[in-house]
Amino acid sequence: MDDIANAAGMSKRTIYENFTDKANLLEACLHYFFEDNMFDMERILNSSDNIIDSIFSLLDSTSKLYFQLKYNFFNEVQKYYPEIYNNTVEIFKQKHFDNTTELLQKGKRDGIVREGVNPVIIAVLINEISIIVLQKDVFLDYNIDKKSAMHACMSCITRGMLTEKGKQILEERIEELKKIKDEYTI
């Protein structure tokens, strides 16, 4: 709590006036983190023209948040605060799953995602890959950072589920981004 108070530029007393203990503070922070993330996700889903734009926007959004976390952060929350983990992280994972499934269904309706693609399987796959990339250090041994690993994994998933129309939109989007950034892949 001393470290948190120092980093926040306030006294421990001020923290304890607002939070009963470390667990209460952790839970509040996780709720804020996930609610902010869900707000961003819903904003992106509602403002994107198609699933491709949504994927790019979501990758950029998650890049800013998740790639800054330490690999073992969620594992430690699960180990030391299992109730908080179940009340926050698991609920967020379900909301993320639901949004991903909905996005894939929209992609099918728009003719961008292949008809044979099972949205549930893809949503589970994306959730599990996110956990592997963000919570485990499997890519560190190969000197691959989280962002590069996530982009490579999402590239494989995305390209595999697209129709020809979807692939064309994807390539156009990549070309637009290459004009802005020297290299960009998905």
Decide if 137 contacts 71 (C-beta within 8 A).
Answer: yes
The sign one gets for the Cα dihedral 7, 8, 9, 13 is negative
The answer to whether 41 and 99 have CB atoms below 8 angstroms apart is: yes
Name the average pLDDT for the chain: 85
pLDDT, tens digit (0-9, with 9 covering 90-100), for 54-103: 888 877 776 666 666 676 788 889 899 999 988 888 888 888 889 889 89
45 within domain boundaries: yes
Burial 51-85 (b: 16+ CB within 10 A, else e): bbebbbbbeeebeeebeeeeeeebeebbeebeebb
In-domain check, residue 25: no
Residue 6 falls inside a structural domain: no
Q: How far apart are CA 2 and CA 45, in angstroms?
A: 40
Torsion of the alpha carbons at 81, 70, 30 and 84, rounded to the nearest 10: -10
Answer whether residue 186 is part of any domain.
no
Residue 112 has a pLDDT of 95
Judge whether 104 lies within some domain: yes
CATH code of residue 87: 1.10.357.10
Q: In this structure, is residue 16 part of a structural domain?
A: no
Residue 186 has pLDDT above 70, yes or no: no
Q: How many domains does the chain have?
A: 1
Task: Give residue 144's region: left, alpha or beta (phi > 0; psi -120 to 50).
Answer: beta
| Residue tagged 């470290």 (tokens) | 3
pLDDT of residue 73: 82
Domain residues for the domain of 74 are 34-180
Task: Say what the pLDDT of residue 185 is.
Answer: 53
Reported as type and span, the H/E element at residue 54 is helix 51-66
8 part of a folded domain:
no
| CB contact at 8 A, 136 and 66 | no
CA angle 162, 144, 121 (to 5 degrees): 35
pLDDT digits (tens, 9 = 90+) for 92-140: 888 888 988 989 999 999 999 999 999 999 999 988 888 788 777 788 8
* 44 CB neighbour count, 10 Å cutoff: 19
Q: Is residue 28 part of a domain?
A: no
Q: How many helices (H) does the chain have, and how many strands (E)?
A: 9, 0
pTM, full prediction? 0.75
Which pLDDT score is estimated for 64? 62
Q: At what angle do helices 119-135 and 82-109 cross, to 10 degrees?
A: 140
Cβ(23)–Cβ(84) below 8 Å: yes
SS3 (DSSP) at 39:
helix
Query: Helix (H, G, I), strand (E, B), or coil: what is residue 78?
Result: helix
What pLDDT does residue 33 have? 83
